[in-house]
């Protein structure tokens, strides 16, 4: 069994407590020991990494991953990409996530039926580098809903699958399960850029939602939902949806309902895309009416999320990365957005990015923290991410990335250079 010893690390353990100095011993895929008496652990047979006070922390988890998104400007780009090219892009995106310190990724939808599934399988088989991946099916939407890119008299593929009525929704949900997804996705509300209007509306009926939830839960698969409008959040809670995304327009009653299921449900704002559309889109690149709707959404999120935090609702990071304005790899920016827009302290935002993410992934009791017996999905960071969360956006600051006790990255040259400089 492989043994790795990180000596004299500054451990930010993911519990929310302040960082402390410790030696960490890893055996196989798990953390064997966390010793706060630095220099006392038996190092025989172990590869010793002198951490010299650098931060050892749990790996990041992207809670709203779209490895099939291609950094395009328009949603139609996804339907226009043939499956062969699309699969190769997704494989590169999976690797990119791990390169950026994401050891886990919970998919919020795949743009084609089987891409998430085959990439997950290849990663699990050790054939491709990538994070632990929970695979999702394509978004299931109603005619005219978010993701229905078809137009009368024109052929066009969508990134969503269209279903109307409970029977059709159930059939598509079962199709996704048959192809072995970990979760399905239901688009319960519209979106600011859909044709159904600037203010997002609730467009999927409770009968339709319930049919999808029943089909997925019958096979112990999870259900994710796109819910911007307040009513869509309420329908999702009433029908037993497991992961409820966006939720920025949730009113008091919707927040109460989310709180009532907080031990079971996860929420993800996907704030990165809203931030980018409002603050970073060059003048004239987004339709004015759409941009106004998105700005209202960002404002609403800055009211709703501090309230969710207060109520102890588990919120995960992941900002719809994979569009032109939110390219894949920039996912850790979401931690900064949580601090700047949603009222989280850096420490709290980092818990969302690690521990809550691991809980969402369903990785078992012993994952998502630096503790004895826990899975060794870890980062060694040059600097203090609590003092500056933006450090996690810089890959050169990630000196080591471990998944299941195995190095995906170990920057020996930098560690050695800094060790020599410290000794001089």
Which residues are at the interface with Zn ion (CB under 5 A)? 108, 320
Strand spans (E) along 85-176: 102-107, 132-134, 136-141, 160-162
- Listed residue (198, 292, 287, 183) closest to 245, CA to CA: 183
- Listed residue (263, 222, 271) closest to 245, CA to CA: 271
CB of residue 361 vs Zn ion: minimum separation in angstroms?
17
Please, what's the largest Cα pairwise distance for the chain?
Answer: 74
CB of residue 63 vs Zn ion: minimum separation in angstroms?
11
Residues contacting 396, CB < 8 A, separation 6+? 382, 411, 414
Question: Coil, strand or helix: which one is 295?
Answer: helix
Smaller CB distance to Zn ion: residue 23 or 320? 320
Smaller CB distance to Zn ion: residue 108 or 239? 108
Smaller CB distance to Zn ion: residue 43 or 113? 113
CB of residue 247 vs Zn ion: minimum separation in angstroms?
13
Give kind and range of the element (H or E) at residue 266: strand 266-268
Smaller CB distance to Zn ion: residue 68 or 369? 68
Cα separation, 162 vs 147, whole angstroms: 8
CB of residue 228 vs Zn ion: minimum separation in angstroms?
11
Smaller CB distance to Zn ion: residue 323 or 344? 323
- Listed residue (11, 107, 111) closest to 61, CA to CA: 107
Neighbours of 303 (CB within 10 A): 13
Cα separation, 108 vs 331, whole angstroms: 14
Smaller CB distance to Zn ion: residue 231 or 320? 320
CB of residue 265 vs Zn ion: minimum separation in angstroms?
17
CB of residue 226 vs Zn ion: minimum separation in angstroms?
7
CB of residue 81 vs Zn ion: minimum separation in angstroms?
17
Smaller CB distance to Zn ion: residue 305 or 374? 305
Cα separation, 186 vs 269, whole angstroms: 16
């Amino acid at each position: 069994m492989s043994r790795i010893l990180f000596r004299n690390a500054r451990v930010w353990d993911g519990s929310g407590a302040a960082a402390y100095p410790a030696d960490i011993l890893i055996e196989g895929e798990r953390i064997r020991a966390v010793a706060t008496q630095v220099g006392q652990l038996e190092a025989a047979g172990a590869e010793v990494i002198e951490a010299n006070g650098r931060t050892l922390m749990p790996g990041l988890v992207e809670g709203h991953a779209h490895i099939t998104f291609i950094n395009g400007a328009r949603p139609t780009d996804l339907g226009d990409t043939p499956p062969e090219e699309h699969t190769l892009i997704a494989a590169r995106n999976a690797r990119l996530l791990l390169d950026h310190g994401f050891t886990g990724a919970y998919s919020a939808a795949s743009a084609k039926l089987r891409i998430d599934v085959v990439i997950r399988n290849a990663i699990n088989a050790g054939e491709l580098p990538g994070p632990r991946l929970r695979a999702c099916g394509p978004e299931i939407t109603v005619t005219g809903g978010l993701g229905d890119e078809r137009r009368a008299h024109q052929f066009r593929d969508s990134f969503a699958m269209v279903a109307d009525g409970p029977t059709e929704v159930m059939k598509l949900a079962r199709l996704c399960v048959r192809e072995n997804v970990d979760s399905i996705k239901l688009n319960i509300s519209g979106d600011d850029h859909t044709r159904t209007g600037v203010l997002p509306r609730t467009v999927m009926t409770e009968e339709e939602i319930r049919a999808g939830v029943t089909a997925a839960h019958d096979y112990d698969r999870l259900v994710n939902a796109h819910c911007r409008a307040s009513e869509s959040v309420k329908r999702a809670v009433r029908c037993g949806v497991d992961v409820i995304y966006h939720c920025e327009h949730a009113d008091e009653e919707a927040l109460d309902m989310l709180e009532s299921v907080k031990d079971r449900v996860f929420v993800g704002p996907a704030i990165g895309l809203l931030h980018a559309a409002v603050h970073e889109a060059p003048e004239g690149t987004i339709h004015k009416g759409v941009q106004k709707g998105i700005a209202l959404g960002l404002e609403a999120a800055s009211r709703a999320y501090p309230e969710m935090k207060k109520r102890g609702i588990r919120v995960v990071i992941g900002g719809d990365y994979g569009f032109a304005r939110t390219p894949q790899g920039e996912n850790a920016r979401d931690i900064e957005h949580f601090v700047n827009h949603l009222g989280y302290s850096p420490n709290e935002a980092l818990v969302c990015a690690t521990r809550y993410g691991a809980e969402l992934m369903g990785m078992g009791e012993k994952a998502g923290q630096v503790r004895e017996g826990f899975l060794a999905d870890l980062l060694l960071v040059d600097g203090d991410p609590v003092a500056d969360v933006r450090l996690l956006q810089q890959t050169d600051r990630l000196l080591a990335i471990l998944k299941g006790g195995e190095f995906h990255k170990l920057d020996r040259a930098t560690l050695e250079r800094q060790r020599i400089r410290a000794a001089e």
